[in-house]
Amino acid sequence: MTSRTTRSIAAGVAIVTVYTATAWFSGQVSPLARRPLLDGLAPPTPYRWVDPPPELASTNLAPAPGTFRVELGNLGSLTAVLTTTDAQVTLILPKGSFAPAEDGRAVEVSIEPLAASEVDPPPPPLEIEGNVYRLEATYLPSNEPAELAAEARVVLTYPFLTGVHPGNTVVHSTDGVTWTTADTNDLPSIQQADAPIDPLGYVAVARDTTATVPPGLTGDEGSPVAQIVIVAGLVVLAAAAAVTLWGPSIRRGTKMGTRGTKKGTTSRRPKGSARGSRRPR
């Protein structure tokens, strides 16, 4: 095996190892954060409000509702991931989320955006950020209400706020009056929170208005700062691998070119100094 082949293998192994390690690190934030690291740090998508703040009313777009059909099998509903067209809500339904029903062929699930003012507020110090969403399900063709038979998971985006704002949590209500907090994964860097829910009902993201940022905290583990550090590490690794792989060849080429120039120079003689010329007597 040549030294060049050995260097190629070593560089490839190093790149794969470090990339795998960084992908694993970013994936520990949340299963929803496991996306390519080199997609860039794009600005956040403008949030779509049902009732926007006055300063955003002129540019606001209405949020998208959603109506979805989930097929039923002999053991209940099939696995389904339901996302509104504006991607502000995703409902993840594992297999068997809805029990089988007599004459039931499918379950229709609806996602309806509401203004926060249309429901009662959660207890202080929580304050709803953005929209509230009402999640409902009925069997088809009977239109009888369908209740969850297994825990589902909801993913919600919320409005962008400058700086770090800890304390975001998913809140849930069956009637829009009494709210409970859910065990939430919060990703401020992409304005996204996800949590398990059971039953369906009203969901929203709420902020703890008394929460403070611990000293030295610049964001969650999936923040742009962390992403920049990871990407910078990959760039440095790629540069090091390139030097390892091609550096010796480049250095050999440079030395050969230098030696060739010196040899060519010493082989020439100045004009008028022909070899074997006689001295004048």
133 and 226 housed in the same domain: no
Q: Is residue 36 part of a domain?
A: no
Domain residues for the domain of 175 are: 44-220
161 and 63 housed in the same domain: yes
Q: Is residue 230 part of a domain?
A: yes
103 and 148 housed in the same domain: yes
Yes or no: say if 186 and 169 are a contact pair by the CB < 8 Å rule: yes
- Predicted pLDDT of residue 37: 42
9 or 25: which leads in pLDDT = 9
Range scoring the smallest mean pLDDT among 100-109, 169-178, 198-207: 100-109
10 and 77 housed in the same domain: no
Does the pLDDT of residue 168 top 50, yes or no?
A: yes
- Predicted pLDDT of residue 222: 42
10 and 50 housed in the same domain: no
Mean of the pLDDT values across residues 89-109? 95
153 and 233 housed in the same domain: no
Q: Which letter does DSSP use for residue 27 in this model? A: H
- Predicted pLDDT of residue 217: 47
Segment 217-263, tens digit of pLDDT: 444 444 444 455 555 666 666 666 566 555 555 555 555 555 554 44
- Predicted pLDDT of residue 83: 98
1 and 102 housed in the same domain: no
- Predicted pLDDT of residue 49: 98
125 and 83 housed in the same domain: yes
Tell me, what CATH number does 95's domain have? 2.60.220
HSE-CB for 28 with a 13 A CA cutoff: 8
Q: Is residue 205 part of a domain?
A: yes
Segment 245-255, tens digit of pLDDT: 555 555 555 55
Per the structure, the count of domains in the chain is 2
- CA distances in angstroms from 199 to 54, 98, 136, 186, listed in the order given: 34, 11, 10, 21
Q: Is residue 225 part of a domain?
A: yes
Residue 197: both structure tokens together: 């829910």
